[in-house]
């Protein structure tokens, strides 16, 4: 198997070299380029066409979220893992909206980076476990204080199944194959569950799934 | 600055004292002059009265003497033809006449004395001539004597009496003119005094006006100084706020970028080390685990410090994300659930506007959690072409905005003022609080 070509973008050299050493330990990965800021990351992505981009959220000139959006715009479905120090929903949601599928906390990067790169390479999602923990806590607190019901309880078993598979990064067709259903049925379930959960798009769906601990 | 101000605290004090004294003196002079004029007038009245009484007391006996003298003359003429009854009557009248003359008040002036003594003498001569005439007992001779002596004597006595009256009249006139002159004197005196007082009053009024004008000038000057100070202070506070924000930013970056990233890199290295080292060596693995735990807690505290100083999402993700983060942080830490209603803003806001609005939310939520006792708070952000509006509302106990100072409202106002924004506070006890900020987007 040819190693996965990775582009590293982080304005901190120390962090970058740490990540590179980490990746070089495994034959599965090869670091093809390193960028100092968002603009350089976009340029290198376009010229190197790496399999996966691992990118810091906060960078000078062009920040990671903007850079991810530009990359995803240039190549829809591009595999991007965001690196961040924050487990806050603001970051996760915006990273997802920008087109990232993986979200790694820097504290746990060395444990999860490989898994995250492999997941997004295959079109799946990956989130640091600590992120889903924080999101879940926020969600539970909010429900408790507002006295609202957990909308998750409104979902049927099939809908939950589909929610999880979609959030993991499977297309409707893949879900249909996995569950032995027609694509049309999967699409119907999908739009129903989105309505029940008041979700307005894939990023929110993924965030919801992360929050519920359905994916990590 | 303050010291010199204090010494000059009452620049018009001396002038005011002077004006007060001048005005007081003016009043005293007017009162004294009025009193003086009244007493002088009273005295003049008394003098006039006494002159008139004196005149009457001196002319009345003489007038009576004159009328008796007329009666006496008639009786003398009658006694030429019918003596007896007439002569005894004449004698009686003459006695009365003497009595009247005796009632003339004491003589005071030499010329008066001369006049009265002359009348006295003439009357005595008259009496003597009359008696001589009666003694003749012969009508033709009596008639002769009457015409040659008695009647001329009578006329002379008459004239003498007349002279006394006119002398007294003259004296009355003299007294009158004397009174008139002293009245004129008083009038002139009063006139002069009036002019003097008018002049003095005018002078006082003028100096009062000058004083007021100078004080107004002083006030204007002070006001201008104050305004200038205020401006300078506003400028200073703007620069201070800016400097504080810059300082926070740089410290936060330093913490986040240098310390935080180094620790992050350290964690990565530790992770690598853990995977390289043989798992069998439990002692080393345990030591590594401990190092790792302490590095992780350092990362967390550094991150929290950096965020407190300056949320990196303000730079990484923009205002709305930073406000949402702030709201969630408050919800996590406190009993207040904060909800944010903010559309993603069109275009990027200016750095100072972002910071201002973020700090306003921070301060407002700080007030909510500390003072309001609220369960919920709502942060609303609305933007149109010309302005951006921020509302932080809570369901707490509220307060009276007119009576409450502090609560960081001053700082909020100041921040907004520097960007030409406005702060409105809608609150009343028991009805929650809304803080509404509006910033122009120029």
**What is the DSSP secondary-structure string of B379-419?**
EEEEE-SSEEEEEEEE-S----TTT---TTHHHHHHHHHHT
User: Which of the pair, B376 or B442, is modelled with greater confidence?
Assistant: B376
Neighbour tally for B187: CB within 10 Å: 11
pLDDT at B4: 42
B245-257 pLDDT, tens digit per residue, is: 888 888 888 887 7
For B311-364, the DSSP string reads: -HHHHHT-HHHHHHHHHHHHHHHSS-EEEEE-PPPSSPPPHHHHHHHHHHHHHH
Bridge-based pairing state of the strands B337-341 and B376-383:
parallel
Q: What is the pLDDT of residues B342-353, one digit of tens each?
A: 887 766 788 888
Looking at the DSSP bridge assignments, the partners of residue A81 are A54, A102
Judging contacts by C-beta atoms under 8 Å, the chain B residues touching residue A110 are 267-268, 270-272
**Of B410 and A42, more confident:** A42
Cα distances from B320 to residues A206, B109, B358, B393, in angstroms, run: 21, 122, 9, 17
Chain A CA closest to residue B256: A85
Q: How many CB atoms lie within 10 A of CB B14?
A: 10
- Laid out side by side, the sheet with B433-440 consists of B337-341, B376-383, B387-394, B433-440, B422-427
**What is the model's pTM?**
0.60
Please report the pLDDT score of residue B333 as a whole number.
87
pLDDT tier for residue B7 given thresholds of 50, 70 and 90: very low
* pLDDT at residue number B3: 42
Question: Six-digit token pair at A38?
Answer: 């968002």
Which of the four pLDDT bands, split at 50, 70 and 90, describes residue B10? low
CB < 8 Å to B297, chain A: none
In which residue ranges of chain A is pLDDT below 50? none
Task: Tell me if B265 and A14 make a contact (CB, 8 A cut-off).
Answer: yes
**Dist. CA B428–CA B433, nearest whole Å:** 7
Q: Under an 8 A CB cutoff, do B269 and A85 touch?
A: no
Element (H, E) at B206: helix B151-253
Is some CB atom of chain B closer than 8 A to the CB atom of A57? Answer: yes
Mean pLDDT of B249-270: 82
Q: Report the alpha-carbon distance of residue A37 to residue A62 in Å, rounded.
A: 6
Kindly give, in sequence order, each residue whose CB lies less than 8 Å from that of residue B375, ignoring residues fewer than 6 positions away.
Answer: A145, B335, B336, B337, B395
Pairs from A70-73 (Cβ < 8 Å, separation ≥ 24): A70/A42, A71/A41, A71/A42, A71/A45, A71/A99, A72/A98, A72/A99, A72/A100, A73/A99
Closest listed residue to residue A103, CA positions, set A2, A32, A209, A26:
A209
- Residue A209's nearest CA partner among A107, A123, A93, A99 is A93
Q: Please write the tens of the pLDDT for every residue from B311-341.
A: 777 877 889 988 998 998 899 889 899 999 9
Token pair for A96: 């997802």
Are B358 and B315 a contacting pair, CB within 8 Å?
no
**Would you call A137 and B317 a contact, using CB atoms and an 8 Å cutoff?**
no
Which residues are paired to A55 by β-bridges?
Answer: A9, A82
Q: What value does the mean pLDDT take over residues B127-145? A: 80
Rg of chain B over Cα atoms, rounded to whole angstroms, equals 60
A&B contacts, CB < 8 Å: 100
Task: Say which of B268, B270, B312 has its CB closest to residue A15.
Answer: B268
Q: Bridge-partner residues for B376, per DSSP?
A: B337
Mean pLDDT of chain B: 84
Q: Between chains, do A107 and B316 touch, taking CB under 8 Å as contact? A: no
DSSP string, B253-304: HIIIIIIIHHHHHHHHHHHHHHHHS-TT-HHHHHHHHHHHHHHHHHHHHHHH
pLDDT for residue A50: 95
Instruction: Assess contact for B394 and B338: CB atoms under 8 A.
Output: no
Nearest CA in chain B to A95: B317
């Amino acid at each position: 198997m040819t190693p996965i070509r990775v582009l590293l973008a982080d304005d901190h050299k120390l962090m970058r070299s740490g990540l590179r050493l980490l990746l070089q330990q495994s034959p599965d990965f090869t670091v093809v380029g390193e960028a100092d800021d968002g603009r350089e990351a976009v340029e290198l992505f376009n010229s190197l066409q790496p399999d996966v981009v691992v990118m810091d959220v906060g960078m000078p000139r062009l920040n990671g979220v903007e850079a991810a959006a530009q990359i995803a715009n240039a190549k829809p479905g591009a595999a991007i893992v965001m690196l961040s120090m924050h487990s806050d929903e603001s970051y996760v949601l915006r990273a997802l909206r920008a087109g990232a599928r993986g979200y790694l906390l820097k504290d746990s990067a060395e444990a999860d980076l490989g898994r995250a790169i492999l997941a997004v390479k295959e079109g799946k999602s990956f989130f640091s476990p600590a992120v889903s923990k924080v999101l879940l806590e926020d969600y539970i607190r909010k429900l408790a204080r507002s006295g609202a019901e957990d909308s998750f309880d409104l979902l049927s078993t099939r809908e939950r199944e589909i929610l999880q598979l979609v959030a993991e990064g499977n297309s409707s067709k893949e879900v249909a194959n996995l569950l032995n259903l027609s694509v049309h049925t999967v699409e119907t379930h999908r739009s129903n569950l989105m309505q029940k959960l008041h979700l307005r798009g894939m990023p929110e769906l993924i965030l919801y799934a992360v929050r519920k601990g359905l994916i990590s | 600055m303050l010291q010199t101000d204090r010494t000059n605290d009452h620049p018009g004090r001396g002038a005011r004292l002077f004006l007060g004294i001048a005005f007081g003196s003016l009043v005293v002079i007017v009162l004294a002059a009025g009193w003086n004029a009244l007493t002088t007038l009273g005295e003049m009245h008394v003098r006039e009265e006494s002159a008139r009484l004196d005149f009457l007391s001196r002319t009345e006996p003489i007038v009576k003497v004159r009328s008796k003298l007329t009666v006496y003359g008639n009786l003398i003429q009658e006694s030429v033809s019918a003596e007896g009854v007439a002569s005894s009557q004449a004698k009686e009248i003459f006695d009365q006449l003497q009595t009247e003359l005796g009632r003339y008040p004491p003589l005071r002036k030499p010329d008066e004395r001369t006049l009265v003594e002359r009348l006295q003498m003439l009357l005595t001569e008259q009496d003597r001539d009359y008696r001589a005439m009666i003694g003749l007992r012969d009508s033709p001779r009596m008639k002769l004597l009457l015409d040659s002596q008695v009647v001329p004597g009578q006329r002379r006595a008459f004239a003498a009496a007349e002279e006394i009256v006119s002398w007294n009249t003259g004296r009355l006139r003299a007294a009158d003119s004397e009174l008139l002159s002293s009245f004129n004197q008083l009038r002139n005196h009063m006139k002069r005094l009036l002019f003097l007082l008018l002049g003095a009053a005018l002078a006082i009024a003028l100096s009062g006006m000058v004083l007021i004008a100078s004080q107004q000038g002083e006030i204007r000057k002070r006001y201008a100084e104050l305004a200038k100070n205020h401006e300078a202070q506003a400028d200073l506070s703007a620069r201070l706020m800016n400097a504080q924000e810059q300082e926070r930013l740089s410290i936060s970056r330093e913490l986040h970028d240098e310390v935080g990233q180094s620790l992050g890199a350290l964690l990565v290295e530790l992770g690598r080390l853990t995977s390289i080292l043989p798992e069998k060596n439990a002692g080393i693995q345990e030591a590594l685990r401990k190092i790792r735990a302490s590095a992780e807690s350092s990362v967390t505290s550094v991150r929290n410090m950096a965020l407190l100083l300056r949320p990196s999402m303000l730079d990484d993700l923009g205002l709305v994300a930073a406000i949402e983060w702030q709201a969630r942080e408050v919800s996590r830490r406190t009993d207040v659930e904060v909800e944010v209603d903010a559309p993603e803003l069109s275009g990027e806001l200016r750095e100072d506007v972002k910071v201002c609005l973020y700090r306003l939310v921070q301060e407002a939520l700080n007030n909510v959690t500390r003072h309001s006792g609220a369960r919920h708070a709502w942060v609303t952000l609305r933007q149109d072409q010309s302005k951006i509006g921020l509302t932080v509302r809570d369901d707490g106990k509220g307060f009276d905005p007119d009576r409450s100072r502090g609560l960081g409202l001053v700082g909020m106002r100041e921040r907004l003022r520097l960007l030409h924004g406005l702060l409105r506070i809608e609150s009343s006890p028991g009805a929650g609080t809304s803080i509404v900020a509006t910033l122009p987007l120029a």
